[in-house]
Amino acid sequence: ARAPVAPGPAATLLQALGLRDAPQGAPKSRPVPPVMWRLFRRRDPQEARTSPRRTSPGAILRPCHVEELGVAGNIVRHVLDRGARAQTLGPTSPTGQCTEWTVVFDLSAVEPEELPSHARLEMRFAEAEATAGAAGGWELSVGREAEGAGTGLVLLRQAVATLGTPVRVELLGAAWARNASAPRSLRLVLALRPRASGACASLIEASLLLVTLDPRLCHPLARPRR
Amino acid sequence: DAEPAVGRGLGGACRARRLYVSFREVGWHRWVIAPRGFLANYCQGQCSLPATLPGPGGPPALNHAVLRALMHSAIPSTTSLPCCVPARLSPISVLFFDNSDNVVLRHYEDMVVDECGCR
């Protein structure tokens, strides 16, 4: 029997930094979202060098804490939907004649040791030209995909006043329990129902901003500075 | 881009030296988005007496390191000198693409040597 091959020094080094494999490189069609740049700049090393652990006078950066989002964490992931699947439903469905979408998020990169502290689903919609300007806004429902197809259990409902800005909902506590690990894959059914008129909208993009705390990389929790 | 390493017993007292880690040099530039590199620094220098003793503004020396240096100066064959190692470090954040095409911001503690000490 062959003994398992020991990982090379490069692989061992990456594992020490919490990475399973060396990433292959930047995907061609994946720009860096502005929110990720903002979060990065909050902890700009240049600024940290001139004023350690501070972003501005008086503002101390707490270790293992994402200041901008106000939650504990040391890893932030921006996960894109793996291809929204649209389905136009009949008048008996909760969305009437409008479409509902199945979105899939691959969370297999999240280690079981990581504790999720924030899971923000962000959606960008566009109103259909023929029905633009729905009076009374919309109601968004987010459900778990049922076995087979269609909406299973509805996880949350939220009023949406306008589609001019991205629609955001917090999934932690709704899609999975607050104290539980993130699922390997998250399949959701999104539906946007007009409150008054028969206006419909189309989903342009859905993404998930997931913040987790990996206690293995958070030394200050176990070793507070004197 | 580093301050040149000095030979054993040379180079003065234990202190932080300049070391810039370039992600291009280590071949990570294809997946690390930012920063392009960072000033990691490293520690080098002698830990013999009196350098081992705490200097003004420097890190407090461990009593063990002082006594070890004292023992070494009295009877060099009994023990080696204390080691010049990081005494205070600070974190950096790295923005990168993972293998699932996710954009990841990861915060790493203890990446930059701010201060060295004899331990």
Per-residue pLDDT of B56-88, as tens digits, reads 666 777 889 889 989 998 998 888 899 999 999
Residues on chain B bordering chain A, Cβ-to-Cβ distance under 8 angstroms? 28, 30-31, 33-35, 38-39, 90-93, 95-110, 112, 114
Q: Which two tokens stand for residue A59?
A: 């503002």
Percent of chain A with pLDDT over 90: 34
Query: Are A116 and A181 in contact, with CB atoms under 8 Å apart?
Result: yes
What pLDDT, on the 0 to 100 scale, is given for residue A71? 94
Please answer yes or no on whether A43 and B39 come within 8 Å at the CB atom: no
What pLDDT, on the 0 to 100 scale, is given for residue B9? 47
- What is the DSSP secondary-structure string of chain A? -PPPPPPPHHHHHHHHTT-SS------TT-PPPHHHHHHHHHT-HHHHHHSTTEEETTEEPPTTEETTTTEE-SEEEEEE-S--EEEE--TTSTTTTSEEEEEEEE-TTS-TT-EEEEEEEEEEEEE-GGG-S-TT-EEEEEEEEPSSSSEEEEEEEEEE--SSS-EEEE-BTTTB-TTSPPPSEEEEEEEEEESSS---EEEEEEEEEEEEE-GGG-HHHHS---
Please answer yes or no on whether A32 and B109 come within 8 Å at the CB atom: no
What pLDDT, on the 0 to 100 scale, is given for residue A122? 96
Q: Best of A29, A217, A221 to disrupt the B interface by mutation (most B CBs within 10 Å)?
A: A217
Q: Best of B20, B29, B101 to disrupt the A interface by mutation (most A CBs within 10 Å)?
A: B101
Residue with the two structure tokens 């003793």? B53
- Does position A72 have pLDDT exceeding 90, yes or no? yes
What pLDDT, on the 0 to 100 scale, is given for residue A61? 67
- Does position A141 have pLDDT exceeding 80, yes or no? yes
Which range scores top for mean pLDDT: A52-61, A107-116, A133-142, B51-60? A107-116
Residues on chain A bordering chain B, Cβ-to-Cβ distance under 8 angstroms? 17-27, 30, 32-33, 36-37, 39-40, 43, 45, 48-49, 52-53, 63-64, 74-80, 106, 108-109, 217-220
> A189 - beta bridge partners?
A102, A143
Please answer yes or no on whether B102 and A78 come within 8 Å at the CB atom: yes
What pLDDT, on the 0 to 100 scale, is given for residue A54? 44
What pLDDT, on the 0 to 100 scale, is given for residue A37? 95
Please answer yes or no on whether B92 and A43 come within 8 Å at the CB atom: yes
- Does position B52 have pLDDT exceeding 80, yes or no? no
Please answer yes or no on whether B90 and A217 come within 8 Å at the CB atom: no
What pLDDT, on the 0 to 100 scale, is given for residue A24? 78
**Residues 6+ positions from A178 with CB-CB distance below 8 Å:** A116, A172
